Copies of this chain bind each other. A is one copy, B any other.
């Protein structure tokens, strides 16, 4: 894409996703169409998490002393926290933080809730807005000051082993969720200097944007016993001793929505997987001088049939050129449009047009066209996912020459290299290349990249990891 940044800005406005003219930098309004897209994405997410997590809702505000309790954690956030100092005309006795994330809101309560090993595991999640006083250049849905759609899961376990298993389960859940949306991802274990503040280790999902930068779209953290010790979360074991619990947390944000838009979109506009599209199918009556009523009646009949099968369908009856309607639904990414004119009516046929390929498919309205439409929805989802996956894979390259890294990445690639894993060496690689090490690989693409070579790309030590490096958002 020639100028992704401009394209992304325009599409958010033209497809009526969000309005970024709100008078605070980094905060935007979800417009009706964007809100529906967000809603369907959240429904998909909830259907996965509701299987074994319980949804809760914690307060937005965190007292200063709770936020400050866990030293490493607060250090990671102190430059980014918004502070409330006044209520009405009066100064508050204790400052209140707007949650940047909810560990310090939740864990004092977990300390009250966890009593016995029989209570464990406990798994919760919530979908809330969180805030970061972002000083870098903001960008809608990507780098914002109000994250409107933060899904955070928090789990509590009796043993380290169970917490490690939970990390694997969370990764599986995120994979399933991102597969539903057709977003390709690379999973890596973040370098120690880039893990979540307070975590033992962090697993992260990154995707590749059309401008060649990677975007972190999900993270899963094993917190070990660090927070349990700080917030005194203990349980009674079966032999009546008391132990600190083990914890994990995991988060996804508005960036998932940004990725759906950025990765599937094309020059004509959005291309949305049917699962999450505000409208899955739009019926466009093709009306000439005569016979309009019959065409409309047939369109309405089809609408009723599709609605009864839980397909999100609308008819565009506006009195404007059909071409303008085609343009609108290509822009808004509706997966299928159905065109029906007087001649089609006579033959009891209609034309379906796929948004992903723009392919035209004639359907016979005497036959079971609903099943055909459902099959097409599957095909569209698969095609979008595979296209995106293929694109990311084609931009993954391996090198054992550090001098090549910057050039490759500047050409839109993500680079895999062999690495010793030492912090000093890793930071030196980042400095030399002016790029970020995403982490050590836990790959999920067909292109299997095991240890690239025996020797670290930068130092003389033995290579321990296959690592990823990229230009990041």
Contacts and interface: CB of A to CB of B under 8 A. Distances in A.
Interface of A: 19, 21-24, 27-32, 35-36, 38-39, 54-61, 63, 66, 78-89, 96, 98, 105, 108-109, 112, 124, 129, 131, 133, 135, 146, 148
- A interface secondary structure, majority: mixed
A63 B109 contact: no
Please tell me how many copies of the chain the complex holds.
2
Contact of A82 (B36, B87, B146): B87
A83 B146 CA distance: 16
Contacts of A55: 32, 35-36, 39
A81 B92 CA distance: 12
Nearest to A77: B88
A32 B59 contact: no
A131 B148 CA distance: 17
A135 B87 CA distance: 9
A258 B71 CA distance: 38
A133 B93 CA distance: 13
A118 B295 CA distance: 26
Contacts of A54: 32, 35
Nearest to A129: B60
7 closest A-B pairs (Cβ-Cβ)?
A: A87-B133, A32-B54, A30-B57, A27-B59, A79-B88, A83-B86, A85-B85
29 contacts: A19-B109, A21-B112, A22-B105, A22-B109, A23-B66, A24-B59, A24-B63, A27-B61, A29-B57, A29-B58, A29-B59, A29-B109, A30-B58, A32-B56, A35-B55, A35-B56, A36-B55, A60-B60, A60-B146, A78-B89, A79-B88, A82-B84, A82-B86, A82-B87, A82-B96, A83-B86, A84-B98, A85-B85, A88-B133
Given A80-B88, A84-B82, A59 B98 contact: no
